[in-house]
């Protein structure tokens, strides 16, 4: 079988790594990189570290408004899909690259495989929510990471070819964690002592595009005395500069550029707590049994909220500080599958 995979943003490279490895054992994969993420530390580093095959097509679309970015992707993806005539188009997650790939394929009557289908925050103000709903509704194969995702689709009358395959990010963590321990020197480079620091990531538009929310988040960080390490997403860096908000005054905060996946796994697994608005990082915290505080009003990963493995706090200063300081005793369950999602994706395609 011939499969065109559309990738574009950091979490998609990580999700694609285990799948491409299994897929290419028996099938032909053509990778299109839209160029949505383009800095070396947001893109190339993941291809190198995770041995993801070099993209066959690099579209270089870059940053822009939603319409411009998605539209340009669609124009270029369409040309390639028409030329390559694949049996399937494979997309991951909920970014503009996901939506562009799915819409092009569906209109050309090429079945879409959506990995990480069925997630909902029930907040249509999030660009990701629009991308998920649209992608799910034009997909032929809806490969879900959790039972909740399957239920969400059922509630929208989508039941055909819906399979819970587990979370492919869990495959990636299991495959790379040992490697991270061997190769990463980030803790000593940054002078971090295990379980004494909090790891921060903030990048979601719902937070970064609102100055008040960013002020609250920074005010909360100022009240947390422990050491904090923050690999900052370029979107957040640009927004803070635009708002004139200075993070250098926050005590015990180390801000660094985005790090590679192996360094990130090290930072996550040795953190005392993780403070984030990232979807992927919430799950990785759960896989690694590191308590998480999620700076959002909703999460798609509702399983993580049970037993306070993850505490949802929004952007209220006091709620953030209280949750970070709280002693929790979470119980972790196997809610994200068995780490063999990549094999299950390929089996599902082969069964058709
Ligand atoms: C995108 C996804 C989001 C996902 C995130 C993962 C959409 C709508 N959003 O958000 O769901 O969680 O990726 O990280 O698809 N920038 C750079 N260099 C880069 C990439 C981005 O400087 O390599 C800056 C640019 O100023 C750009 C901004 O970051 O305008 C936002 O990038 P964009 O890809 O549009 O959205 P993300 O916030 O990264
Ligand atoms: N990540 C990384 N380096 C960083 C920040 C995140 O490798 O500096 C990884 C993280 O471990 C996870 C993925 O990127 O696997 C999550 O991507 P992101 O937070 O950008 O997007 P989201 O999951 O929210 O869509």
Query: Confidence class of residue 273 from pLDDT cuts 50, 70 and 90?
Result: very high
Cα dihedral sign, 172-275-216-329: positive
Look at residues 146, 47, 37 and name the one whose alpha carbon lies nearest to residue 96: 37
Q: Is the pLDDT of residue 352 over 90?
A: no
Compute the average pLDDT of residues 260-267.
Answer: 98
pLDDT digit string, tens, across residues 106-123? 999 999 999 999 999 999
* Ligand 1 site-directed mutation target among 7, 8, 9, most atoms within 8 Å of CB: 9
CA–CA gap between residue 44 and residue 320 (Å, rounded): 34
* 236 Cα: distance to centroid of ligand 1 (angstroms): 9
CA–CA gap between residue 334 and residue 262 (Å, rounded): 23
Residue nearest (by alpha carbon) to ligand 2 atom 6: 264
Q: How many helices and strands in the chain, by DSSP H and E? A: 15, 13
Q: Which residues are catalytic?
A: 203
Residues 6+ apart with CB under 8 A from 297: 123, 206, 312, 314
Please tell me the predicted confidence (pLDDT) of residue 233: 98
Please tell me the predicted confidence (pLDDT) of residue 38: 98
* 295 Cα: distance to centroid of ligand 2 (angstroms): 15
Decide if 2-167+337-350 and 176-325 have a common fold.
Answer: yes
Residues 6+ apart with CB under 8 A from 218: 245, 247, 250
* 54 Cα: distance to centroid of ligand 2 (angstroms): 20
Compute the average pLDDT of residues 29-55.
Answer: 98
Please tell me the predicted confidence (pLDDT) of residue 231: 98
CA–CA gap between residue 336 and residue 170 (Å, rounded): 7
Query: Confidence class of residue 8 from pLDDT cuts 50, 70 and 90?
Result: very high
The total of other beta-carbon atoms located within 10 Å of residue 219's CB is: 15
pLDDT averaged over the chain? Answer: 98
Task: Give me the residue spans of the domains in the chain.
Answer: 2-167+337-350, 176-325
**CA-to-CA dists, residue 273 to 21, 178, 298, 303, 328, angstroms:** 32, 21, 19, 18, 10
State both tokens at 219: 């005010």
* 279 Cα: distance to centroid of ligand 2 (angstroms): 8
Residues 6+ apart with CB under 8 A from 215: 243, 245
163: which strand partners?
143
Stated pTM of the model: 0.98
The ligand 2 atom nearest the CA atom of 172: 15
CATH class of 176-325: alpha beta
Residue nearest (by alpha carbon) to ligand 2 atom 12: 280
State both tokens at 220: 């909360």
* Number of alpha carbons in the 13 Å side-chain half-sphere of residue 62: 3
Compute the average pLDDT of residues 194-223.
Answer: 98
- In this prediction, what percent of the chain has a pLDDT beyond 90? 99
- 135 within ligand 1 shell (Cβ under 6 A): no
Identify the residues whose C-beta falls under 6 Å from ligand 2: 10-11, 14, 201, 203, 231, 258-261, 264, 278-281, 284
Question: Considering every ligand atom, which ligand is closest to the CA of 266?
Answer: 2
Look at residues 183, 219, 186, 221 and name the one whose alpha carbon lies nearest to residue 201: 221
pLDDT digit string, tens, across residues 64-101? 999 999 999 999 999 999 999 999 999 999 999 999 99
DSSP states of 60-73 as a string?
---S--HHHHHHHH
Residue nearest (by alpha carbon) to ligand 2 atom 23: 280
| Topology at the third CATH level for domain 2-167+337-350 | Rossmann fold (3.40.50)
Query: Confidence class of residue 125 from pLDDT cuts 50, 70 and 90?
Result: very high
- 119 within ligand 1 shell (Cβ under 6 A): no
Torsion of the alpha carbons at 146, 150, 156 and 160, rounded to the nearest 10:
140
Residues 6+ apart with CB under 8 A from 159: 153
Q: Is the pLDDT of residue 176 over 90?
A: yes
275: which strand partners?
200, 293
Query: Confidence class of residue 214 from pLDDT cuts 50, 70 and 90?
Result: very high
State both tokens at 125: 């103000």
CA–CA gap between residue 277 and residue 296 (Å, rounded): 6
The ligand 1 atom nearest the CA atom of 39: 23
* 94 Cα: distance to centroid of ligand 2 (angstroms): 13
Q: What is the 3-state secondary structure (H, E, C) of 252-307?
A: CEEEECCCCHHHHHHHHHCCCEEEECCHHHHHHHHHCCCCEEECCCCCCCHHHHHH
- 128 within ligand 1 shell (Cβ under 6 A): yes
CA–CA gap between residue 16 and residue 341 (Å, rounded): 11
- 36 within ligand 1 shell (Cβ under 6 A): yes
* 226 Cα: distance to centroid of ligand 2 (angstroms): 23
At 304, give phi and psi (nearest 5°): -70, -15
Cα dihedral sign, 69-70-75-81: positive
């Amino acid at each position: 079988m011939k499969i065109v995979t559309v990738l574009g943003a950091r979490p998609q490279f990580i999700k694609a790594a285990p799948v491409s490895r299994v897929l290419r054992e028996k099938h032909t994969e053509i990778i299109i990189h839209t160029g949505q993420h383009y800095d070396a530390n947001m893109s190339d580093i993941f291809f190198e570290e995770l041995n993801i095959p070099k993209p066959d097509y690099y579209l270089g679309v870059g940053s822009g408004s939603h319409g411009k970015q998605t539209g340009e992707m669609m124009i270029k993806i369409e040309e390639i899909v028409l030329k390559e005539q694949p049996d399937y188009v494979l997309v991951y997650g909920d970014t503009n690259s996901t939506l562009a790939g799915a819409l092009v394929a569906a209109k050309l009557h090429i079945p879409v495989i959506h990995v990480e289908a069925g997630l909902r925050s029930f907040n249509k103000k999030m660009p990701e929510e629009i991308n998920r709903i649209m992608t799910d509704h034009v997909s032929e194969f809806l490969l879900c990471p959790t039972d909740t995702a399957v239920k969400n689709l059922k509630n929208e009358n989508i039941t055909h070819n819906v399979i819970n395959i587990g979370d492919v990010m869990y495959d990636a963590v299991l495959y790379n964690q040992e490697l991270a321990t061997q190769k990463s020197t980030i803790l000593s480079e940054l002078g971090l002592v295990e379980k004494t620091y909090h790891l921060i990531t903030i990048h979601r538009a719902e937070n970064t595009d609102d100055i008040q929310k960013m002020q609250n988040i920074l005010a909360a960080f100022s009240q947390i005395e422990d050491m904090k390490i923050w690999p900052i997403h370029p979107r957040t860096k640009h927004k803070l500069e635009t708002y004139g908000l200075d993070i250098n005054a926050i005590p015990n905060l180390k801000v660094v550029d985005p790090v590679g996946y192996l360094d990130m796994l090290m930072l996550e697994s040795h953190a005392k707590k993780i403070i984030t608005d990232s979807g992927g990082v919430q799950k990785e915290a759960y896989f690694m049994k590191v308590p998480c505080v999620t700076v959002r009003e909703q999460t798609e990963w509702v399983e993580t909220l049970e037993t306070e493995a993850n505490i949802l706090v929004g952007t209220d200063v006091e709620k953030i500080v209280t949750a970070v300081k709280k002693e929790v005793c979470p119980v972790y369950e196997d809610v994200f599958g068995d780490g063999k999602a990549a094999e299950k994706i390929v089996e599902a395609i082969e069964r058709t």
